[in-house]
Amino acid sequence: MNIKLSPIISAKELQAIYQNDNLVIVDASGGPKARENYSTKHLDRALFADTNKDLANVKPNAAEGGRHPLPTADQFSQALGRLGITPGSHVVVYDDMGGANAAARLWWMLRAIGHSKVQVLDGGLLAAEKAGLVTSSKMEIPGKVAPYPVVEWKLPQADMQEVEKVAKAKDHIVIDVRDAKRYAGLTEPIDLIAGHIPGAINVPFSDNLTGDGLFKSPQALKDKYQAVFGNTPADQVIVHCGSGVTACHLLLAADYAGLDIPKLYVGSWSEWSRNNKEMVTADTAGH
C-alpha cells in the first residue's frame, strides 16, 4: 500500500533523516535581503532557491503574468538541476515565514510537475533552530545532476480571463489570501493600487498558523476550509494573493488537511490590478 507523504515535516522528523543520501534541503526565504540572510545563516546542507530567478520568470512588465509568473518547464528543469534535485530526491523546503515566503510555492511547483517526495518544514528556520538543528554560514555546493525532466504543470491553474469570468459566479469561489488591510484597499506595500478583485473573499494565509508559527492541525485546517469551500468542488475554487507565492500557503494547508488542491491564479492581484480590470478599492467598497 502506497502511503501518501505528509506535505509538512517537523524539525524533529527532519533531524531523523538528516543523513539520508537522497535528502535535498532548500532555503526558499524571499525578500530583498534573502541571499544575504542565507549567507549569514541557513540550515546545514541547505541550498538557496532564489524566488525571482529559480521559482519565477520575471517579466519587465508585471501586467504580463504578475510579479512572479511561473518559469517555463525548461527554466524550472535547469533550476532544479542546479539545486541538485532529481526525480529520486526527498526535498525538504523551508523559509523564514512559516512557509509563506516561498517554501509553499516551491512545494506547489514540485508537486505540479509530479514530484511527490517534497515537504515543507513546519515553523521554518526558527523552529529548526529551537529543535537544535545545526545552522551554517558556508556556501553549499549542490551535487552535479542532469536537468530535471519537466514536461508540464499538472496541478490546476486559472488565468486572468477565467477569474474575470467566474469571480462573481455563485458556483465558484475566488479566495484572496493577503491580509485584511491589503484586501480592503487600506494599504498596499508592493503593488500600484490597493484593493481586491470584485467577488473575491478574504481568507488570510496567516490564519493557517498557530501563534508560534506552526501549522494548525490537519483536522483544524480541514474544519476551516470545509466551512470556506462548502459544497464547491476544488476545481471551482481559485486562490490568489499578490503575486502567486503566498497563495500556495493555502494550497499547502488544504493538502495537509486531506482536501483536494484548488486552482492557483499565479498572476494574482499584481497582474489583475495592472490590466484595467474592475477593482474594489477603499473608495469604492461602500458604493
Residues 151-184 pLDDT 10s? 899 999 999 999 999 999 999 999 999 999 999 9
Does 84 share its domain with 193? no
Residue 131 maps to a domain:
yes
Domains held by the chain: number: 2
Does 20 share its domain with 61? yes
pTM metric for this prediction: 0.96
Residue from 241, 248, 253, 266 carrying the catalytic annotation: 241
Assign residue 100 the CATH number of its domain.
Answer: 3.40.250.10
Residue of 112, 120, 134 whose CA lies nearest to 92: 120
pLDDT in tens, 201-254: 999 999 999 999 999 999 999 999 999 999 999 999 999 999 999 999 999 999
Q: Is the pLDDT of residue 14 over 70?
A: yes
Residue 79 maps to a domain:
yes
Residue of 91, 80, 149, 96 whose CA lies nearest to 120: 91
Q: Evaluate whether 188 touches 180 at the Cβ level (below 8 Å).
A: no
Does 264 share its domain with 185? yes
In the predicted model, what is the mean pLDDT of residues 12-37? 96
Does 121 share its domain with 231? no
In the predicted model, what is the mean pLDDT of residues 20-26? 96
Q: What is the predicted pLDDT for the residue at 1?
A: 46
The domain in which residue 227 lies consists of 160-272
In the three-class reduction of DSSP (H, G, I as helix; E, B as strand; rest coil), residue 226 is classed as helix
What rounded mean pLDDT belongs to the chain? Answer: 95
Residue ending a domain, among 102, 136, 170, is 136
Residue 151 maps to a domain:
no
In the predicted model, what is the mean pLDDT of residues 256-282? 97
**Residue 94 pLDDT grade (very low, low, confident, very high; cuts 50, 70, 90):** very high
Residue ending a domain, among 136, 168, 183, is 136
241 is an active site residue: yes
Does 36 share its domain with 130? yes
Chain-centroid distance of CA 216 in Å reads: 17
Does 127 share its domain with 206? no
Residue 113 maps to a domain:
yes
Name, in order, each residue with C-beta under 8 angstroms of 127's C-beta and a sequence gap of 6 or more: 10, 11, 121, 213, 214
Does 13 share its domain with 69? yes
Q: Is the pLDDT of residue 76 over 60?
A: yes
